[in-house]
Structure formats: structure tokens, C-alpha cells
Structure 1
Amino acid sequence: MDRETPLPASDWVLRNTQPGRVERIEAWFGGHGYDPHRHDTYSIGRTLSGVQSFHYRKSLRHGLPGNTLVLHPDELHDGMAGTEAGFRYRMAYVDPALIQQVLGGEPLPYIAGGLSNDPRLYQASETFVQAMDHPLEALEEQDALFDLAMALRAVAGKPRGRKRLDYRAAERARDFILAHLHQGITLEMLEHASGRERWSLSRDFRVLYGTSPYRFVTLRRLDQFRALILDGFTLVDAALAAGFHDQAHMTRHFTRCYGVPPSRWLERLRTHGQLAGSYKRR
């Protein structure tokens, strides 16, 4: 940054609250951003300025303007500024189920290293890393999801050595989870709902959606928790309403997923003066 562009006083996160199927953020961090954590989505992003450094699969990576960040679902990573100038970036969190609607039951594409210079991915992710004040029309988002799924598959290449997957059974299990989040879901219940033997189902679920059935349940409850605290619920009330045993139980899972505790997550949104809004996973 030059002398006429002062550094932001504190870290901030701007979150798109437009109804849609893909969550999008823009953020600036002057130093440490996030502790090691895991999402169950693809994290597709672009560094706008500075150096975005992160540990990923036991190596330190450096995202620069012009790269496309592609973090695979459920891969451990953190985030920090690579220089004293800080970094600014945009990120879209893409539900693997949206990619599967295009691929129709193939193993999720894997981009090695978490970074890509491939122009196909850069172009296919362009829609999702536009400025937050650019609303995505429903058809625009759907077209972009198709392009992104095709680019991920093309750049990753065809996986080898996989057994046949039962995509429809895994889809039935996913639908059952979404409809029964406030119950104590078991593999036996998922086996009955899907018609697939439980261990085969558990394996297929991981390959198709990037995470285990248990992690999927937990993160959907965290989605509900985030929506509730953005609507003004207290942390303890939101935790109980979303199906956690207590606030401490929720906080452990929240920090593992987002790299910061919920109070810090809210503080970063407020730092940028963003009004509360709801987000719902579809």
C-alpha cells in the first residue's frame, strides 16, 4: 500500500448476506488470521493484495494475486499475513453437494497444494470472487456452479482405483440428516434411510461430500448457530437451540471449524460495520 492508503486499524470480515447457495466473504488481516481449522466445503478464493500464507497438508503455502486458492473439504489449514503489509482476499465456500449435482456421483475433484495457476479455474471462479456489492442472480449462480465443477474436474484429472459409489444412497442419507438435525442421528438410522450398509455408506459419504456423516451433522448445527447469533440470540441460547449440549460444547466445534471462537467471529463482522443477516445452508 502507498502512503495515501493507510492500513486498516483492525482485522475485518465482510460477509455476503444475500440469499443464495454459496457463502462469500471478503476480509483483511494484518497478521494472524485463523488457527488451524477445517470446513466441510470447498474454499475457493483469490488474494487481492499482499501475501496470504497458510499451512496446508504439512507445507506452508503463499497465495498471491493471480492465484486461485482451492482448499479441499475437511483439509486442515490456517491463515496469516505473509508480510507486514497484511493481506486482503475474497473467498467462496461451496457445498460439495452443489458440485455433485453437476458431477452426478463422482469422487470430489482434488487440487493438489491448495493453489492453482490454471486459467480454467481462475475464469470459472470469477463469478464467486466478485465484490460483495455484486448480487448473484439465481441463474448466474447456477451457471457458475456448473462451470466451477467442470473446471475442478478438468484440472484435477480423473481419480483412479475407486470402487463404485452409491450416490443415490448417500444423497438419501444427506437428506435424512437435514430433515432430522435435532435428533440423535446414528449410522443405523442412516442405513435404514438410505438402504445402504452403514460402513459402505459412511465410506461413500466421505468420498462424495468430503466429510463424515458425523462432521456433516455438526457443521449443519453450526450453520444454524451462526444464523441465530446473527439474528441477535445470545451464544448460550443459540447453542442450545441449534442442538449442542451447552455453550462450551458449541465453542469447541465452532473454533475447530472456523479457526476463531464465535465471539471473535462476530467481532470481525462488527469491525467492518456489517449489519447482521442470516445465512442458511441449502
Structure 2
Amino acid sequence: MAFDATRKDWIRRAAPSSRVERIEAYFGGHGYDMHRHDTYAIGRTLAGVQSFHYRRGMQHSLPGGTIVLHPDEAHDGQAGTDAGFHYRMIYVEPALIQRILGGRPLPFVRDGISADPRLYAASGALLQATGQDIDPLQEDDALFELAHALCAAAGRRTGRRTPDYAAAERARHFIHASLDQPIPLEDLARAAGTDRWSLSRDFRALFGTSPYRYVMLRRLDLARR
């Protein structure tokens, strides 16, 4: 696909899904300022060079690789050349990945870009053009493949205790049921059946962000409705 630096920037969003948000975009220069999501952001550059600051470094995504931004990691985006960049991205909640992995720590791809062919293949079904509908069963199958490909691409982290997934999930359900009232960490730990600091550590490992930030973002979601 040929690019012209005078082209206008654009963003397209796929029809809403109960599981995955999908976008496709083109930027001729500056794309977006530093920000963060409480989801995985997984995508691929279709043309051009997609450059972004991530974890104290500058990364450059080219066609053929897979972008994997971990939940709650700050990043920006801009064109790496005058040709601009064209990309697709999906946003996947960590809780959805956890339902598939069953309590393993979230896979972490350190540099934000992976050349792993398993991950590239597994993400393809979800990274179709935004005008292309994805069958719900196909989406479920693709999410299963994606979760396990993320684990394969990230490798195994050793020397860490196994997080208490059941307790962290009880805490997450308590949060969703209590968004209209204050939620002290002590109450959250009591509902989860664990101590405060174990919960705080395990929640981060399993859902990619702290209990406090998770509460704040869910309240923002509620306010937008």
C-alpha cells in the first residue's frame, strides 16, 4: 500500500463486541501522546514504521511483527518515517486472558514487540479489518489461541510464588458489586479471604494493575455509560 504524507489521519472502530475492542488507523506523523490502558493492546503495523516510547526505550514496529503492550504500561505513538504508519490494534481485558490461563501470571513481552510466529498467527483472526465481522465462536477460539501464544512468546518467569487466583477473582467481583461506595483495601482483602499485601501483589500479577487503579477505571467506565 503506497503512502502519502499529506494524507489525513483517520481511525476506524469495529462494531462493539462483548469481548474485544478493535481499531484500525493511519497517522502521517504524531499519533497520540503518552497514555496507558488497563488492557492488553495487541496489534500489527500494516505499512510504514510505527514508533513508540515504551518502558524507558524507543521501539519501532514494522510489518511482520506483533505489538504487545502490557496492561498499565505507558506508551505513545508516532510515525518513524515521512510515509506515516497504518496499523490495527485490539484491546483485551486481563480478566479475559485469566479465564483462559486459570491463574497463571499475565504473560509479559518485555520490549513491546515480538517476532514470534506463533503469536503473529494466533492474533491474525482478531486483527482482521474493522469492517469484517468476527463470529462469536471464532472470537472465542482466537482468544484461546492468543492467550497461549502470549505465554509462549513471553517465556516462563521463574522464582515467583504462584498467585492466588481464586482470591484475586473474589476481590474483582467484590469491586464490581461495590462501585457505588468506598472500597478500603482491608474490606477488599476480607472479601477475598486473604491479607492486604498478598492481594495487592497477586491482583497486579493476575490483572495487570493495582486494585485501586482497577476501581478508578471501572468507575470511569460506569460514568461514561
- TM-score normalised to the size of structure 2? 0.94
Matched with 2:164 is 166
- Mapped contact 1:18–1:135 kept (Cα < 8 A): no
What is the Cα deviation at residue 182 of structure 1?
2.3
> Identity rate of aligned residues, in percent?
63
**In 2, Cα distance between equivalents of 1:176 and 1:115:** 34
**In 2, Cα distance between equivalents of 1:164 and 1:170:** 12
Matched with 1:211 is 209
Matched with 1:100 is 98
SS at match of 1:79: strand
What is the Cα deviation at residue 119 of structure 1?
0.6
Matched with 1:177 is 175
Equivalent residue for 2:121, pick from 107, 120, 123: 123
Matched with 1:146 is 144
Kindly report which structure 2 residues correspond to 1:37-56, keeping only aligned pairs within 5 A, or say none: 37-56=35-54
Greater share of strand: 2
Read off the aligned partner of 1:199 and give its amino acid letter: W
**In 1, Cα distance between equivalents of 2:203 and 2:40:** 15
Read off the aligned partner of 2:154 and give its amino acid letter: A
Read off the aligned partner of 1:63 and give its amino acid letter: S
Q: Alpha carbons of 1:222 and 1:90: their partners in 2 closer, same or farther (altered >3 Å)?
A: farther
- Mapped contact 1:20–1:138 kept (Cα < 8 A): no
Read off the aligned partner of 1:160 and give its amino acid letter: T
SS at match of 1:25: strand
What is the Cα deviation at residue 163 of structure 1?
1.4
- Mapped contact 1:33–1:79 kept (Cα < 8 A): yes
Read off the aligned partner of 2:62 and give its amino acid letter: L
Q: Alpha carbons of 1:104 and 1:186: their partners in 2 closer, same or farther (altered >3 Å)?
A: same
**In 1, Cα distance between equivalents of 2:220 and 2:66:** 27
Which structure 1 segments of 5+ residues have no match?
229-282
Deviates more, 1:39-48 or 1:16-25: 16-25
**In 2, Cα distance between equivalents of 1:17 and 1:224:** 20
Which structure 2 segments of 5+ residues have no match?
none
Deviates more, 1:13-22 or 1:105-114: 13-22
- 4+ residue segments displaced more than 4 Å: 5-9
Matched with 1:197 is 195
Matched with 1:221 is 219
What is the Cα deviation at residue 225 of structure 1?
4.2
What is the Cα deviation at residue 224 of structure 1?
3.3
- Mapped contact 2:68–2:113 kept (Cα < 8 A): yes
**In 1, Cα distance between equivalents of 2:180 and 2:84:** 41
The number of equivalent residue pairs is: 225
What is the Cα deviation at residue 133 of structure 1?
1.3
**In 2, Cα distance between equivalents of 1:223 and 1:132:** 23
**In 1, Cα distance between equivalents of 2:26 and 2:133:** 21
Equivalent residue for 1:62, pick from 39, 60, 63: 60
- TM-score normalised to the size of structure 1? 0.76
**In 2, Cα distance between equivalents of 1:6 and 1:166:** 51
- Mapped contact 1:106–1:208 kept (Cα < 8 A): yes
Read off the aligned partner of 2:117 and give its amino acid letter: P
SS at match of 1:54: strand
